[in-house]
């Protein structure tokens, strides 16, 4: 398993094959040589379990590696999509400025208090 050609572990996620390389093959071979190296992480000197939550989490991941790989892959896609969406919307949270008056050829247009009533109000000043 851990020969010189070892590239990593392959996971199937949505018809894609993703390879995860956890590190040096010789180190992995040493750690994986006995199941006690896994169990000793969660069992204390007295033989009682010291980290039940961590043990069951690791065991669950070990028993369903493709399921967990798919979950984290999809979570990464979701986070990336949310980030892009926020950038696309380009929401500016700065203070609003007073309305500016626009003038074009004798007619001046500006926003009058929009909360005061309904509809469009047009005021004209005849120039003599």
pLDDT per residue, tens digit, the chain (128 aa), is 666 777 788 887 887 888 877 777 777 778 778 888 888 888 888 989 998 888 888 888 888 888 888 888 888 888 888 887 877 777 666 666 666 666 666 666 666 666 666 666 666 666 54
Q: Which helix (H) or strand (E) holds 46?
A: none
Instruction: Output the pLDDT for position 99.
Output: 60
Domain annotation covers residue 101: no
Question: Which residue range forms the structural domain that includes residue 14?
Answer: 9-89
Domain annotation covers residue 69: yes
Please report where in the chains the tokens 């994986």 appear, as a residue: 32
Q: What is the signed CA dihedral for 68, 63, 27, 49, rounded to 10 degrees?
A: 110
Domain annotation covers residue 53: yes
Domain annotation covers residue 109: no
Domain annotation covers residue 94: no
Instruction: Output the pLDDT for position 128.
Output: 44
**How many domains does one find in the chain?**
1
């Amino acid at each position: 398993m851990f020969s010189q050609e070892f590239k990593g572990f392959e996971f199937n996620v949505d018809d894609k094959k993703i390879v995860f390389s956890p590190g040096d093959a010789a180190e992995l071979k040493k750690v994986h040589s006995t199941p006690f190296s896994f169990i000793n992480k969660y069992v204390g000197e007295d033989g009682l379990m010291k980290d039940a939550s961590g043990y069951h989490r690791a065991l669950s991941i070990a028993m369903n590696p493709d399921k967990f790989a798919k979950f984290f892959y999809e979570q990464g896609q979701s986070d990336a999509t949310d980030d892009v969406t926020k950038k696309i919307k380009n929401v500016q949270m700065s203070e609003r400025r007073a309305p500016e008056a626009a003038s074009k050829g004798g007619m001046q247009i500006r926003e009058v208090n929009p909360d005061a009533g309904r509809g469009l109000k047009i005021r004209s000043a005849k120039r003599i």
